[in-house]
Amino acid sequence: FENIEIVKQFGTLHGANTMAFMDIDQDGDQDIFWGDFFEPSVLLLENEGDPTDPNFQSEPRPFPANDPVQTSGYNAPTLTDWGNDGDVDLFLGVLGGAYNANQTLGENFYFYEQQSNGDFELQTRQFLSTQDVGNESILSTGDMDGDGDLDLLLANKIDPNNRNTSIVYIYENRGSQNAPEFHQTGRLELPESYHYAPELSDLNGDGLDDLLLGRWRGGVAYYQNTGNGFELIEETLLELPRGSNAVPKLADLDTDGDLDLLLGSSGGSVVYFENTGTSTEPNFELVENAFEGVEVGHRSTPSFYDVDADGDLDLFMGSKVDGIIFFRNIGTPENPVFEKDEMPISVRVTQFSTPHFTDQDGNGIPEFLSGNKEGGIFYFSRK
């Protein structure tokens, strides 16, 4: 196996490669399928030797010959008779290499089926269909269409096909309040911006959940739910005093009957805006240094839940590196004081966690959801 050269004239050796073995030409010996960080295709190295004395000095050829794989690179192949029809098919995990890895963040599990003539035909770029938006997902739930059940907004860091903006996907609940079934129905039409962070809640008392939308530059836009979509009311309703990556979370933090606002940020701290208006005409005013010491290092994402059932809201904070950080409310429902404490629930999450509590099945016990670096949703149900 020595002196097999895949990437010519690269200079130093590198380790970002994958391989699989299969007797693709049915000559009784194993051939090599090779993926590499610097290779947008999968390369076939035909074994010109035999089972006891292999020879892989042939020129690597892109595979399949009739329609070579073309991705962002660093492809991980495996071959198996998936259809149980006597021939092998190709599965391909796209890890993302040197050719704009953002393009394949969402569509990264290719399936090629071998035809009767020996050609391989691409069937899908996402063999497992899941709620995967590519990278750094963040979500919010609310009744967007007024049918009494919770729908879902799911945003990402960046559009795989347009590096100038992120996307907020719409998932309509076509099931029921007790048995949700989410169907992606499109995306919000928004100006270009990175790191959109949605927060749904009824801000004008009409029974429809409106939208606050955090942005990378630190501002928060306000969109009113008209029943037929969202209408922009204020492009910058409020903004972080400093820093970027505004992540809004609404909750009644002083028990006066209206929703106040906490903003997460890139620096890991939180900023408090008290609602000095009403439940139908909110007016958010900045309260300086309201929650000093409540921080997670980088990329704070707040979420509230009274986990100890003592009548006040506790704070769960997502972070860039450290998963979920818990702050227990040792104050009162009217005057919260958050103190860092051990995590009271057992959940395993990854980097860029974005926690969210919501009662998905209508049993009165909220489920715990979290976006993540990989672009999907972690879902935990409390038993």
Domains and CATH numbers, the chain: 17-124 (no CATH), 138-380 (2.120.10.10)
- Tell me whether residue 296 is exposed, middle or buried, using C-beta atoms within 10 angstroms of its C-beta: 0 to 12, 13 to 18, 19 or more: buried
Say how many C-beta atoms besides its own lie within 10 A of residue 75's C-beta.
30
Cβ neighbours of residue 309 under 8 Å, at least 6 residues apart? none
What pLDDT is stored for residue 342 in this prediction? Answer: 97
pLDDT given at position 7: 54
Residue range 281-297: average pLDDT?
95
Q: Could you write out the DSSP letters of every residue in 275-320?
A: E-S-SSS--EEEETTTTTT-B-SS--EEEEE-TT-SSS-EEEEE-S
Q: Taking 90 as the threshold, does the pLDDT of residue 193 lie above it?
A: yes
Nearest CA among 11, 17, 55 for reference residue 33: 17
Task: Tell me what pLDDT residue 12 has.
Answer: 61
The average pLDDT across 367-380 equals 94
Average pLDDT, the chain: 92
Alpha-carbon distances, residue 63 vs 23, 35, 87, 121, 282 (angstroms):
14, 10, 16, 11, 59
Nearest to 184, CA basis, from 209, 153, 146: 153
Residue scoring higher pLDDT (103 or 168): 168
* pLDDT above 70 (res 11): no
CA angle centred on 316, ends 151 and 272, rounded to 5°: 90
The mean per-residue pLDDT over the stretch 285-307 comes to 96
Please report the pLDDT score of residue 216 as a whole number.
Answer: 96
pLDDT confidence of residue 13: 65
User: Using one digit for the tens of pLDDT, what is the confidence trace for 14-54?
Assistant: 678 999 999 999 999 999 999 999 999 999 999 999 999 99
Cα–Cα dist 2/101, whole Å: 30
**Mean pLDDT, residues 310-331 taken together:** 97
Read off the pLDDT of residues 255-282 as tens digits, 9 standing for 90 and up: 999 999 999 999 999 999 999 999 999 9
Picking from 221, 177, 222, 219, the residue whose alpha carbon sits closest to that of residue 204 is 222
Mean pLDDT of 102-116: 87
As beta bridge partners, residue 89 has 80
Residue 105 has pLDDT above 60, yes or no: yes
What's the Cα-to-Cα distance from 2 to each of 22, 101, 121, rounded to whole Å? 19, 30, 33
Structure tokens at 15: 């380790």
Instruction: Say yes or no to pLDDT of 10 above 60.
Output: no
* Rounded percentage of the chain residues whose pLDDT exceeds 70: 96
- Alpha carbon of 127 to those of 39, 93, 106, 287: distances in Å? 22, 10, 11, 49
Is pLDDT at 148 greater than 60 in this prediction? yes
Of the two residues 142 and 162, the one the predictor is more confident about is 142
Q: φ and ψ at 104, to 5 degrees?
A: -115, 20
